[in-house]
Amino acid sequence: MTEIPSSGPNVGRIAGVIGAIGAAAAVGAAIGVAAERGITRRARNNDPDRDEPFGRLRGHVIPVVADDGTPLHVEVDEPSEGSLAHRMGDGLTIIFSHGYALESGSWHYQRRDLGELARLVFWDQRSHGRSGRGQPGNSTIDQLGRDLGRVIDAAAPTGPVILVGHSMGGMTVMSYASHHPEVLGSRVFGVGLIATSSGGLGDAPMGLPAPLAKAVHNILPSLGENLAKQKGLVERGRRLANDAVYAMTKLYSFGSDVSPSLADYVHEMLSNTPIDVVAEFLPTLEAHDKRLALQAIGQVETLVLVGASDRLIPAEHSDEIVRHVGTTELVVIPDSGHMVMLERYPEVNQHLRDLVRRVRQDISQGQETT
């Protein structure tokens, strides 16, 4: 893993957290914006993450192409000599799949701190980050599952694998498991599902009163289509509404007062997701239902984790995953929101370490019985 020089603040397209919450981002966004910005400016003078290289950690890039020809950006961090992974010599690989309207950099602290555990693979899902723009008709959870299969084949053709997904990335993992249940327990020995859902997002409250949430979900199908058609106009609106969008980013991403640098970084990732990509993935998120895949996932060690204050995918969705998996417990991290792996990374990283330990124990016990 290497760090690339900073290119300075991103002043390009300002995305809405609408990428994560659809039309709900427009509701009440302007409330307290001026005060929020004033507080943030003062906080920058004592920012603990001021020198954190968000978005600048890089690994070895390997070429991966999806089954429809879309290039996928995939990076591999090999364990250093003398690390736990090097000493174990089992070739264990952890593959991280990021969420909707984000990119692989959302795993910043996991990449920074967990390199001693295993080979680490980070990839940008299609139409996100540095991956190629996919065909609009292929902006589906099922396609993302097939993409993950290509990533596994290229980045971890042999050896045991752990799949970790956040938000839409967790849905990607479920999709892959639904199409390849035979690999659970033979190639894939562990799964981490963070702040995600197995279905029913069409009923998610998104932190809104029930009647308003229902109204938002009713307009989402037409909203996505209209956003794509009016891309230029919407992008200009996003730039003009930058302060309001920034406030919404903090509200819907975190459950506590995070550093300005961290808030800026999440805001930047959302900003870099084109509005037509945001629009194209809305229908598949609403229709997503992979509850049946959880039975296969239940065959291996599983971590299900969520922030207690997640307004986008509330803890009830993780609780439902646990009920279907049946072999794990739900980990709820207090004072944290949807971006829990950034907001409360020490706790999240410890739970990931525990998952790796359990997987290695299972592999060792399996070898002893053969």
What length is written for the chain? 370
The CB-side HSE value for 237 (13 A sphere, CA atoms) comes to 11
* Partners of 304 in beta bridges: 193, 330
Would you say 77 and 1 are in contact if contact means Cβ atoms under 8 Å apart?
A: yes
Would you say 150 and 65 are in contact if contact means Cβ atoms under 8 Å apart?
A: yes
Strands (E), 195-311: 301-307
Per-residue pLDDT of 64-96, as tens digits, reads: 999 999 999 999 999 999 999 999 999 999 999
Nearest 5°: phi and psi at 127? 70, 5
**pLDDT of res. 339:** 98
Domains of the chain: 15-368 (3.40.50.1820)
Q: Identify the three-state secondary structure at position 192.
A: strand
Residue type, 303: L
Could you tell me which of 312, 67, 271, 96 has the C-alpha nearest to residue 179?
67
**pLDDT of res. 26:** 39
**pLDDT of res. 11:** 31
* Sequence-ordered list of residues with C-beta below 8 angstroms from that of 355, at least 6 positions apart, any chain: 162, 190, 192, 301, 303
Could you tell me which of 313, 318, 356 has the C-alpha nearest to residue 116?
356
Q: pLDDT tens, position by position, for the chain (370 residues)?
A: 777 665 443 333 333 333 433 334 433 434 444 445 555 555 677 899 999 999 999 999 999 999 999 999 999 999 999 999 999 999 999 999 999 999 999 999 999 999 999 999 999 999 999 999 999 999 999 999 999 999 999 999 999 999 999 999 999 999 999 999 999 999 999 999 999 999 998 766 555 444 444 555 565 555 556 555 666 655 666 665 667 778 888 999 999 999 999 999 999 999 899 888 988 998 999 899 999 999 999 999 999 999 999 999 999 999 999 999 987 889 999 999 999 999 999 999 999 999 999 999 999 887 766 5
Would you say 56 and 135 are in contact if contact means Cβ atoms under 8 Å apart?
A: no
Nearest 5°: phi and psi at 350? -65, -40
Would you say 247 and 33 are in contact if contact means Cβ atoms under 8 Å apart?
A: yes
**pLDDT of res. 279:** 87
**pLDDT of res. 85:** 93
**pLDDT of res. 23:** 38
